[in-house]
Amino acid sequence: MTIKLNTEALRHARRLIKDATIARDTRGDWSEHAPDTDQENAFIDRHGYTEYGTWHLGEDTEKPHDTKARYSFPFGDFRRLHRCAILAIESRAAQNNHDDIAKAAKSLLDELDKD
């Protein structure tokens, strides 16, 4: 398993922050705000795996492009970036030694909390 930072997703997250397409929720809310399997599948059916991937900071380059297993560390509900998801990513990535993803999440939090 080779999970690396998905740079296209990081650019997408920064655009969402710049455009204020965000939910300023709090730590622990992600379990309630994260899309469920049906929502993920519906999004993939409408937009495809490439667009699905832009909502995930992690990408396992050993997995096929057209599978959900390739993508990890989701940060939004396919409409908005969620602050609670970024908090969860920062913590989980650091715990699992995905330092580039943890660092990216920290930079996104800094951008979110500037205001």
Strand segments, DSSP code E, in the chain are: 3-5, 22-23, 56-60, 71-74, 81-82
- Residue 27's pLDDT is 81
Contact 104, 9 (CB under 8 A): no
pLDDT reading at 31 higher than 90: no
- Residue 28's pLDDT is 83
Percent of the chain residues past pLDDT 70, beyond the cut: 98
User: Is the sign of the CA dihedral 16, 17, 23, 25 positive or negative?
Assistant: positive
- Residue 26's pLDDT is 83
Chain-centroid distance, C-alpha 21: 14
What would the DSSP string read from start to end of 28-59? Answer: T-HHHHS--HHHHHHHHHHHHHHHHHTTEEEE
pLDDT reading at 115 higher than 80: no
- Domain hosting 31: range is 3-112
* Number of independent structural domains in the chain: 1
CB atoms within 10 A of CB 28: 10
What are 32-59's pLDDT values in tens digits? 899 999 999 999 999 999 999 999 999 9
